[in-house]
Structure 1
């Protein structure tokens, strides 16, 4: 099971300036239910340390959140999902998907290829070759770079299954979720999770902006973006990607 969850901050807790902008009105908390785990949930120990000793060092926002979840604009979470959903719903061919199921080997390939690309400091061609091999993978990652120590989350599809992978590369002890993990959902359930989040978020925002004509125009511009993404499938040149992956893997084999 995959669910995208959020809670908007009560309007009375927002600043006067925030009330003037649609994006700022989305201030709140969000998290992902991935099976029995919650991604973006801080541990009690983290919150306590944040409050008393490490304020500002764990997350870029301060003070510590009033809820144990990512404390930021929910619109950013929503937009980040919109950014990768088309790619996530395009099936990855079985031969390439086989590389992803072996998480350890795939992570090793990512690390070794990065080190290989960095070696000739005055030659960018290796980075270009690596980008050609891996851009499709990066397109499927949910951006969470605005949070320190946030997990790397990737959404990809094989056949009629959508896979959510996560990995905490830094300070996994800050969060309640396992350092790394994977959940699998059928495509229809994943689409329903996206639609449910989209509907709940936009419905609550529609209530929040009643009587603010300028914000109603901004809201109208945002509505329908998910359906537009779902009805315009992404395309990949998998033949070119296979060749690029083979090129980098052969290069790594030559430098062993």
Structure 2
């Protein structure tokens, strides 16, 4: 089981962007905190002794939502059997990324990773699909290198295998829940108007929300055009060290 969970910051507590010209927009209005439920684990939940942190990652939901949509088409592309060791491997053991093939393989590898570079000492969360006889699953792995300050409640590393349909259903649910929550937030602002002293173009906000409601459907139409020959050659170079 996998589920992308979140809580939006109450509207009255959302901090505007800027100092003199204080503004709000769709991205900024997604301020909140979030985590990933995966089997019996909560990924991105901090331990109580982690200083200065809420229980979960405190950032804009738009960022996680955009990154999940962007990676989903790559995750759902089945990985050839001879590349499973590479996609499951540790890039810290690679040699330098020199040449086109190595670069292609490294980019393909990164496309299966949730981009969490905006938080301090993030875990590395990855996912890929395996298809075979009576088998169609997505493997989700995580790894966190404890820096002595930032700690999460999940084990330092782990792996959960789920049906591919369950992964896609979780992405669709995340999209639906965020779009629904943001729709309510926008309707509230349309009734009350922007807070005093805050610049907010409500027509533009509504138009952007309407456009973003199509992002997942359009993203799922993107069919990866993976150059498997280049990925295989690059994987050999990188793992050779």
Instruction: Tell me the TM-score normalised to structure 2 length.
Output: 0.83
1:94 aligns with 2:81: yes
The equivalent of 2:236 in structure 1 is 246
Matches for 1:27-106 after TM superposition, within 5 Å: 27-46=31-50, 50=51, 55=52, 64-65=53-54, 68-100=55-87, 106=89
Aligned counterparts of 2:87 and 2:237: Cα–Cα separation in 1: 18
Residue 179 (structure 1) aligned with residue 181 (structure 2) = no
- Bigger shift: 239-248 or 203-212? 239-248
Mapping 1:214-229, distance limit 5 Å:
214-229=204-219
Point out where structure 2 has 5 or more consecutive residues left out of the alignment: 191-201
Q: Is the 8 A contact 1:19 1:25 kept in 2?
A: no
More helix by share: 1
- Out of 15-24 and 219-228, give the one that drifted further: 15-24
1:111 is aligned to 2:92? yes
Q: Are positions 1:144 and 2:116 aligned together?
A: yes
Cα 1:16–1:112 shift into 2, 3 Å: closer
Partner in structure 1 of residue 141 of structure 2: 165
| 1:196 aligned residue | 173
Contact 1:129 1:248 survives alignment (8 Å):
no
Q: What SS does the aligned partner of 1:33 have?
A: strand
Q: Aligned to 2:34, what secondary structure does the other structure show?
A: strand
The normalised TM-score by structure 1 is: 0.79
Per-residue Cα deviation, 1:203-238 (whole angstroms, up to 9, x for no partner): 110110121322101111211111111222222111
- Asked whether the 8 Å contact 2:138–2:161 carries over to 1, the reply is yes
Q: What RMSD over aligned residues (CA atoms) do the two structures have, in Å?
A: 2.0
SS in structure 2 at match of 1:154 = strand
Q: Counterpart in 2 of 1:10?
A: 10
Contact in 2 for aligned 1:206/1:219 (Cα 8 Å): yes
Whether contact under 8 Å (1:90, 1:235) holds in the other structure is no
CA distance in 2, matches of 1:30, 1:248: 34
Q: Which runs of 5+ in 1 are unaligned?
A: 56-63, 118-124
Number of residues of Structure 1 aligned to a counterpart in Structure 2:
219
Q: Retained in 1: the 8 A contact 2:86–2:235?
A: no
